[in-house]
Amino acid sequence: MGVDNLIKKYRNIPPRLLGLESLLRRCRLNSFDKERAEQELINRKAGYKGEKSVDYTLSFLAEKKYSIFHDLRLPHGDHYFQMDTILISKSFILIMEVKNLAGIIYFDPEFDQMIRELDGKKEGFPNPLTQVKRHKYQVKHWLDRYKLPQLPIETLVVFSHPSTIIQASNLSPEQKKQITHSTNLFSKIGPLERRYIKEILETKEIRKLVDSFIKNHTPDLPNLIEQFHIQKNNILKGVHCPKCYSMPMKRDYGKWICSACGFSSRQAHLDSLIDYLFLIGPTITNQQLRNFLQIPSRFVATDILTSLKVEQHGSTKGRTYQLSSILEKKM
């Protein structure tokens, strides 16, 4: 099927999802709003699951007809915008916003919001139709920036939960066309292919656009410590067990050993360094690594830092190591 030629950027585990896991694992329970963090983590996992289900459906599109980007985050002025999925062809672009919400969904155009009713409770959300409309404007601006022809841009709000009931009677016919269940996705894409037959972008222009997306994609690293008002002295230290999450593990002859479950690993420190990235910062020194992983030996810490094979800056004594590439491998 040639999916590798089709998908230019796969969907990664959202950094905020991983960061929330780090937060719940590392921070003392009385130091932050645990219930809020747990609920957000549940919602993020549900959203990610829904997006992945849409990704699977799109993988059956015709080979080489589209370039597909999932979870793309691009700069726009002083800010960034992030699209769940964008399809690029020579004839048109399709931007999708994916929602994995159970219950009954209502659209309120008067107050520009979406309302979900579930188990007798109502909850308000930003209007996804407005979100994709804004993304459409931002992509148009992107085409201008790279001096590419303006081709038609269509938008879709895709509901991925199989039991979602959509109530959109108060929307215009044009707005209704922009909403679908993921199971009906191909029935929405087919008419677009028949409507936009003329090829506007040449192969080299498609490549230029694809390259600009890849080059400028910037993952979002959330500042959870600030958002949840956590003091750094409330962050637990030591290497946590990748199997049972107990900490700290003990290091013995190059291995990390969990005293709770007996699990051993030579690479257990990697997940703990990702915790450090989310909760402390994206760079680390030898001294900071020893403090966070609870390693007394500078030489052991040096061996670990060298084995990471990450970007380094500065002299030997004050050298800093960039941890972002460890996160990229995890995602």
Write down all domains in the chain, each with its CATH number in brackets: 3-216 (3.40.1350.10), 237-330 (1.10.10)
Q: What are phi and psi of 313, to 5 degrees?
A: -140, 145
Q: What is the pLDDT of residue 316?
A: 74
Q: Give strand pairing partners of 247.
A: none
Q: What is the pLDDT of residue 314?
A: 87
Beta-strand pair 179-181/153-159:
parallel
Tens digit of pLDDT per residue, the chain (331 long)? 333 457 888 899 999 999 999 999 999 888 889 999 999 999 999 999 999 999 988 988 866 789 999 999 999 999 999 999 999 999 999 999 999 999 999 999 999 999 999 999 999 999 999 999 999 999 999 999 999 999 999 999 999 999 999 999 999 999 999 999 999 999 999 999 999 999 999 999 999 999 999 999 998 889 999 999 999 999 999 999 999 999 999 999 899 999 999 999 999 999 999 999 999 999 999 999 999 999 999 999 999 999 999 999 887 778 999 999 888 877 6
Q: What is the pLDDT of residue 63?
A: 65
Cite the beta strand spans of the chain per DSSP E.
7-9, 67-76, 79-88, 93-99, 104-108, 113-118, 121-126, 153-159, 165-167, 179-181, 250-252, 255-257, 264-265, 283-284, 312-313, 320-322
Burial of 310 (0-12, 13-18, 19+ CB in 10 A): middle
Q: What is the pLDDT of residue 330?
A: 72
Q: What is the pLDDT of residue 82?
A: 96
To which residue do tokens 């410590």 refer? 225
Q: Residue 50: how many CB atoms within 10 A of its CB?
A: 21
Report the sign of the C-alpha dihedral through residues 96, 97, 100, 104, in that order. negative
To which residue do tokens 């599109």 refer? 61
Q: What is the pLDDT of residue 149?
A: 95
Residue type at 72 in one-letter notation: L
Q: Is the Cβ–Cβ distance between 185 and 51 less than 8 Å? A: no
Q: What is the pLDDT of residue 329?
A: 75
Q: What is the pLDDT of residue 201?
A: 95
Q: What is the pLDDT of residue 1?
A: 34
Exposure string of 175-202, with b = 16+ CB inside 10 Å and e = fewer, is eeebbbebeebeebbeebbeebeeeebe
Helix, strand, coil shares, percent, the chain, to 5:
40, 25, 35
Determine the Cα–Cα distance for residues 105 and 114; give it in Å rounded to an integer.
7
Burial of 288 (0-12, 13-18, 19+ CB in 10 A): middle
